[in-house]
Chain A
């Protein structure tokens, strides 16, 4: 986030020196001007200064908004870290059972944790789960809890993870998580419900070339035998 170059106090001090008036600068400039000050500044100068300050206020407002968003991100990222630490002690099979209960496929769990499907099958039998991988499982379970807590609209978190971020590409939150882009996952999940998240920007952050990478001149459709088939798109 870009940090403001001046403090709130310095901006308000500048505004006060200009005095109150009509126009785009709000009347928050107390105390009001003295007759001497008014005569010392021409109307043209005041208008120019007000324009400059209006722009500065907008910049400051944007920065404040970003700071608020960062604070909110800080909230859920901290909560994610804390919950991960708590869950790490739950035991691998408990964590796997929780992910299974949520409806995840083993291949997706394996992908997000960075292991093979047979490795997860061994873990289910109680074999070979390292502390590092137990922590990765805990991080995933914690992530699911955070998403459901901060955005209650997501009632089927496994389905949400499997759903493409945009219609034009098969990239899902599973792919984001598997490539260590948890922050993007949380943003896409709108854990900060006040933030507007453009899915296209999420995709741009993940892969700037995604439009070209996933461009297809084909489409799927259901044939008369009821099966899905592929055909060229109509131009």
Chain B
């Protein structure tokens, strides 16, 4: 396992759906843009026609606080046949996106690393997002993208360690913004609220800093939920 590109499940029991946190209509606007997000029909720098793309970069370099970096590296997404898991190691130039749901229909796509592009981050409209990846999906994408660029294969469990806190933060932001929109707070205002709470005093004891310690994540979640209840009361 250590020395080959990993895949979701086995040929007998493929787990393509494990790549995604949400697909199609399930994707919510409240989730911050993250590594592995798939967008359809977005303007790409240097191209006349909109493209379908998947966000490639590690989560720690695509944003600073609330703000996305001005330009993001993406790979073009096109329709592709489904590849059973045992074939994934033979496809080092792509990230298979099996069972993507577009316009209510399940279809197979892939992100092609050789066709990487730049997008202006402001053009990534969350309403054009058709999929958000699970942690498993993000880790597989990182493994394949790094291998494509360097021929080094790092086990996904190691990517889990270096993407875990950012994924956790995205989860907390999503939950917060969903709940605050129910309270009549705009998405932008809710995002500012939770970013401010996560940042705290910017010390090592701030919620964002504590998310880096896996053993503190459940406590930070509880505190965020208590903070929400206090705001509502």
Contact = CB atoms under 8 A, between A and B. Distances in A.
A230 interface: yes
B1 A162 contact: no
Contacts of A216: 2, 154-155, 157-158
A30 B215 CA distance: 58
B193 interface: no
Interface residues of chain B: helix, strand, loop or mixed (majority)? helix
Chain A facing B: main interface SS: mixed
B218 A162 contact: yes
A105 interface: yes
Given A105-B168, A116-B26, A228-B161, A217 B2 contact: yes
A107 B162 contact: no
A104 B218 contact: yes
Interface in B155-183: 155, 157-162, 165, 168, 171, 175, 178
A107 B135 contact: yes
B126 interface: no
A159 B28 contact: no
Contact of B158 (A103, A107, A212, A220): A220
A101 B200 CA distance: 22
A208 interface: no
A143 B22 CA distance: 27
Nearest to B142: A230
B217 interface: yes
Contacts of B1: 212-215
B218 A218 contact: no
Given A116-B22, A218-B155, A103 B28 contact: no
Interface stretch (B77-85, B87-95, B219-227): B219-227
Interface in B18-34: 21-22, 26, 28
A65 to B, nearest CB: 34
Contacts of A116: 17, 21-22, 26
B183 to A, nearest CB: 14
Q: What interface size band does chain B fall in?
A: 20 to 34
A230 B22 contact: no
A117 B178 CA distance: 13
A135 B187 CA distance: 34
A106 B175 contact: yes
Interface string A202-222: 000000000011111111100
Contact of A162 (B21, B135, B217): B217
B81 to A, nearest CB: 25
A4 interface: no
A72 B87 CA distance: 47
Contact of B21 (A117, A214, A215): A117
A158 B60 CA distance: 26
A9 interface: no
Given A159-B215, A218-B154, A170 B225 contact: no
A86 interface: no
A128 interface: no
Contacts of A230: 154, 158-159, 161-162
16 contacts: A104-B218, A106-B171, A106-B175, A107-B171, A116-B22, A116-B26, A117-B21, A159-B219, A216-B154, A216-B157, A218-B154, A218-B158, A220-B161, A227-B60, A228-B161, A230-B162
4 pairs of A and B residues whose beta carbons are closest in the complex: A103-B218, A158-B218, A118-B26, A103-B222
